[in-house]
Structure 1
Amino acid sequence: MAGEQLNVLKALDAAKTQWYHFMAIVIAGMGFFTDAYDLFCIALVTKLLGRIYYTDPSSPNPGNLPPNVSAAVTGVALCGTLAGQLFFGWLGDKLGRKSVYGFTLILMVLCSIASGLSFGHTPKSVIGSLCFFRFWLGFGVGGDYPLSATIMSEYANKKTRGTFIAAVFAMQGFGILFGTIVTIIVSAAFRHAFPAPAYFIDPVASIGPEADYVWRIILMFGTIPAALTYYWRMKMPETARYTALIARNTKQATADMSKVLNKDITEEEDRVVERQAVAGDTWGLFSRQFMRRHGWHLLATTSTWFLLDVAFYSQNLFQKDIFTKVGWIPPARTMNAMEELYRIARAQALIALCGTVPGYWFTVAFIDVIGRFWIQLMGFAMMTVFMLAIAAPYNHWVQPANHTGFVVLYGLTFFFANFGPNSTTFIVPAEIFPARLRSTCHGVSAAAGKAGAIIGAFGFLYAAQDPEKPDAGYSRGIGIRAALFVLAGTNFLGMLLSLLVPESKGRSLEEISKENFGDEEDAVAPVGV
């Protein structure tokens, strides 16, 4: 039996693409632009932090943070993000999407500034304060995931909903690219203003007094795009689905959307409103009824996002180490600190420009044509293939004559991560769960992803150490080649679990989650592929 749907929700589902859709994409997307900048810019400056605070003048290989320090610096923001996704995801369903949306942005702005102002008299105290502020920065970033995804899904029409949510997430690619561009500009400016010799000529002068300003400037630069969108974020009305289905104020929802859509929307009779609002309203998260309706869906979204982020964050956070291993970035002892930072940023900018950013926008173009399920399955499959193509003949790729081929294959893994599960794992949880649990379930799914990112960040750091020459005081790793095989296996498992992911293309949110009155009889069945 087809279910009834409120007129205001019908109007949203059938609305033509118009100005308010683009405004919502920009407002929510700039949050993700900032998220990506803040999370990934730390990978650009860890070598510089190692040079400044942990370089031994007698060391022939400067710039490497101790493994435990490197793990803390790169992983602490991910821990904060996980906590923020759970907390703000739950809060978004309790207080409303908009009411907590601005707070996450303020937290990100303040903590970005504070990260750049990290203080202390010793290396440990500076790194300790940096980790403290980056945890809370990650906490704010985490809130943006469920809130931005839910807001965009509830604003969009059903025909192009996937495109709009994907466009919001695609701003992450521009954020990563922007981080590399800022780093290139800042490092180039200081490199020419304060020339310094290579490390093997003079270990102290190769760092230079300006180096301590550079990493701080780079970290603080992420405040600018976030601050610019705060006003517009606060002007957005609450989503009609929250107002009508959770707050049960259909009159307000109708008034808000009439202004947004520039059309008159007929209000329902009280009988229809009540029947829609209370449909399935007696069960909670992880209850038996929830598990019957959405248990397989939650398993699909959490497991695939977890496995994707193990691989994706391992690759992203440690690109510089892989590039050094294959010789694409010269040994640190042959360069001064600014030259090394410049080369790391340039290498990562090339990967972002050729692989990461195009992948996101291919998803935007094809998500509502091919569908979520097939894009995710294809992405995992291709990531597995290209990771194996790198790992199996790894000794071939590290030869100087073959570096270009390595970079091409490595870039393709990023392309199919983003034209694949890195985008779809963000989109699907915002569509398949009921309105009153949508933000919470997206937060739980995203948190599972960040748990994978933490394992990837910490695990790959240790695993990729040379088994013959581990850093002093630390256990032997399995080497980069073996670690790449592990990541290929992770991608393959993600492909298998993607078979549980439901297809939500072209259907209203209420139809997918069985929230329309009259759908309760079929609601226990999975949505299916």
Structure 2
Amino acid sequence: MARDQLGVLDTLDAAKTQWYHFTAIVIAGMGFFTDAYDLFSISLVTKLLGRIYYHVDGAEKPGTLPPNVAAAVNGVAFCGTLAGQLFFGWLGDKLGRKHVYGITLMLMVVCSIASGFSFGHSAKGVMASLCFFRFWLGFGIGGDYPLSATIMSEYANKKTRGAFIAAVFAMQGFGILAGGIVALIVSSAFDHAFKAPPYSVDPIASTPSQTDYIWRIILMFGAVPAILTYYWRMKMPETARYTALVARNARQAAEDMSKLLQVNLLPEEDKVEIYRGNASNSFGLVSKEFARRHGLHLIGTATTWFLLDIAYYSSNLFQKDIFSAIGWIPSAETMSAIQEVYLIARAQTLIALCGTVPGYWFTVLFIDCLGRFTIQLMGFFFMTVFMFALAIPYHYWTQKSHRIGFLVMYSLTFFFANFGPNATTFVVPAEIFPARLRSTCHGISAAAGKAGAIVGAFGFLYAAQSKDPAKTDAGYPPGIGVKNSLIVLGVINFFGILFTLLVPESKGKSLEELTGENDEEGGEAEQAPEASYS
């Protein structure tokens, strides 16, 4: 049986779309813009790092990062992100969403700048300091996931809540796009100023000393959007759901939302006391009651995010290797280091523009119409189809006349990742768990996703290596090749379809209706209203 909802929460659920909704989307979304820029910009410069710091005089080919170094540079930020998601997710439920929201942003600003100042007397020293700063950068990024999702879900009305949360996450697409554009601008400027010949013509001159500034500038630019957002993030009031249901301060919740919505709201302290006395609103994360109510939900959100991120981050971080394998990016010795950065950035920008960004915004448009479950199931299905379509006739796609077809198919996998599970896995955990555990459970689900990203970053790096003996002799372990790696990713997406069946549909329902926080259960809960009103 459900009791009367708090007036302030009813007002939020029924509120028409207003200016503060868009303000919240931009403030929370700029954090995700920065997150995506910082996480994916490293893939634009890893080949450049190899040329600068691992070049061997007299070598026939430009220097490349050793496999263990490449794995560390690509994956260390994900390790930090995983830790940050768990820590800040828990802290967001203990101290409040707003209280820790600024800390994550400042960590991102400081560590973005520090990454560009990575120092050392040797290549190992520079890579070690870069990995150190990127770990803490990831730690700050990790906190943004549960906090931004929870804040947006608790601010939104129930009719368009999915679109608002998805719009926050969709800013990630613009962050990926911005990374490519910044790399294009910086590399073009340096190429114009320091025209370098191809490696085959002059190995030394092909990587002029000034190229060391390119990767530093690209990584440091990630601090700019975070700095611009900090003031407005600190001006946001705490969410009414946290203030009323967790902090139990009905008066403050009513005052904050009265200003925000420009209406007069009563504190309703008696109803907050009823919530406090309800036994169904007191169980903890590690309890039989949580396992009974939400155990399968948490398994579903965590597992689908884990599987999705293996496929998604593998594909995103190693686009440059796939493009090289099919010959869309020329071999490294035919161009200078600056030209290589430009071509990698151009390729990734094209993929982001054609597949990644449109996919995110299709989710924003249709999530409250089709529902989360349908979009997630559809996305995993088409990702599976397109991965197999790329992998099975892989040698057909490597022919020069068929490369455009490969790029179209590859773009479609990103489109259906983002018009699918990459968005919905972020949205659903912010809706289906109780307010006092919402940030924590979203952090756990997101951390499972980043565990998948780590598997993708480290595992795919080795798995996708060619079986070429020359590469094995150079320090690369024998891999299964790009074709078989794509088949593995297709199988992973198929399992995503199966685990989606554990995730409930949350379309059109209030958060309290979804979580059962508004239900009267047990004798104690039913007696509480009578005692309160007597």
Query: Which range, TM-score by smaller chain?
Result: over 0.9
1:127 corresponding residue in structure 2: 127
> Partner residue of 1:191?
191
1:374 aligned counterpart, secondary structure: helix
Q: 1:520–1:336: structure 2 CA closer, same or farther, 3 Å change rule?
A: farther
- TM-score w.r.t. the length of structure 1 is 0.97
Answer whether contact 1:276 1:517 (CA < 8 A) is retained: no
Q: In the alignment, is the contact (CA less than 8 A) between 1:6 and 1:276 conserved in 2?
A: no
Structure 1 CA distance for aligned equivalents of residues 296 and 97 of structure 2? 25
Structure 1's 8 and 508: CA in aligned 2 closer, same or farther, altered over 3 A?
same
Residue 496 (structure 2) pairs with residue 497 (structure 1): no
| Aligned Cα root-mean-square deviation (Å) | 1.2
1:273 paired with 2:275, answer: no
Partner residue of 1:487 out of 486, 489, 493? 489
Deviation, 1:7, is 0.7
Q: 1:100-159: per-residue Cα shift (whole Å, max 9, x none)?
A: 000000000000000000001100000000000000000000000000000000000000
Q: How does 1:355-434 map to 2 (within 5 A)?
A: 355-434=355-434
Q: CA deviation at 1:441?
A: 0.2
Q: Secondary structure at the match of 1:120?
A: coil
The whole-number CA distance in structure 1 between the counterparts of 2:158 and 2:223 is: 33
**1:218-257 mapped onto 2 (5 Å cutoff):** 218-257=218-257
For 1:514, give the aligned amino acid. Answer: G
CA contact (8 A) 1:5 1:517 kept: no
| Counterpart Cα distance in 2 of 1:58 and 1:174 | 41
Mapped contact 1:61–1:331 kept (Cα < 8 A):
no
Q: In structure 1, what is the Cα distance between the partners aligned to 2:277 and 2:354? A: 49
Q: Deviations over 1:63-113 (max 9, x none)?
A: 421110000000000000000000000000000000000000000000000
Contact 1:325 1:398 (C-alpha < 8 Å) held by counterparts: yes
C-alpha distance in 2, partners of 1:269/1:112? Answer: 44
SS of equivalent residue, structure 1 residue 229: helix
2:521 & 2:459 partners in 1: Cα distance?
A: 45
Partner of 2:117: 117
Which residue pairs with 2:532 in the alignment? none
Local SS of the residue matching 1:518:
coil
Match of 1:200 in 2: 200
Q: Greater CA deviation, 273-282 or 102-111? A: 273-282
d(CA) in 2 for partners of 1:376 and 1:179? Answer: 27
Q: Distance in 1 between matches of 2:264 and 2:254?
A: 9
Q: Which amino acid aligns with 1:55?
A: H
Q: How many residues in Structure 1 have an aligned counterpart in Structure 2?
A: 521
**2:179 aligned partner:** 179
How far has the Cα of 1:241 moved from its partner? 0.5
Could you tell me whether the CA contact under 8 Å between 1:80 and 1:136 is conserved in 2? yes
Residue of structure 2 equivalent to 1:527: none
Contact persistence 2:67–2:475 (CA under 8 A):
no
Per-residue deviation, 1:320: 0.2
- Which one-letter code corresponds to 1:383 in the other structure? M
In the aligned structure 2, how far is the partner of 1:411 from the partner of 1:519? Answer: 49
One-letter amino acid of the counterpart of residue 483, structure 1: S
Determine whether 1:339 maps to 2:334: no
199-208 or 468-477: which moved more?
468-477
| Matched-pair contact (CA < 8 Å) for 2:37–2:222 | yes
Q: What does 1:16-31 correspond to in 2, within 5 Å?
A: 16-31=16-31
Does structure 1 residue 5 correspond to structure 2 residue 2? no
User: Structure 2: how far apart are the matches of 1:488 and 1:320?
Assistant: 19
Q: Give the SS at the match of 2:203.
A: coil
Letter in 1 for 2:492: T
Structure-1 residue corresponding to 2:509:
507
Gaps of 5+ in 2: 526-534
Q: Which residue in 2 is equivalent to 1:318?
A: 318
State whether structure 2 residue 99 is matched by structure 1 residue 99.
yes
SS of the aligned residue for 1:146 comes to helix
1:520–1:97 distance in 2 versus 1, CA, 3 Å: farther
Give the distance between the partners of 2:522 and 2:149, measured in 1 at CA: 26
User: What's the CA shift string for 1:211-252, capped at 9, x where partnerless?
Assistant: 100100000001110000100000000000100011000110
Give the Å deviation of 1:210: 1.1
Counterpart contact for 2:386–2:413, Cα < 8 Å: yes
Between the aligned partners of 1:429 and 1:286, the Cα distance in structure 2 is 17
1:519 is displaced (CA, Å) by: 5.7
Unaligned runs of 5+ in 1: 524-529
Counterpart amino acid of residue 500 in structure 2:
S
Displacement of 1:283 in angstroms is 1.6
Partner of 2:528: none
1:58 CA drift (Å): 3.0
Contact kept? 1:514, 1:520, Cα under 8 Å: no
1:201 shift after superposition: 1.2
Structure 1 residues 464, 94: closer, same or farther in 2, change over 3 A? same
Larger deviation: 57-66 or 486-495? Answer: 57-66
Structure 2 counterpart SS, 1:401: helix
1:311: Cα distance to partner? 0.2
Q: Which residue of 2 aligns with 1:140?
A: 140
Paired AA for residue 484 in structure 1: L
Structure 2 CA distance, aligned partners of 1:163 and 1:57? 54
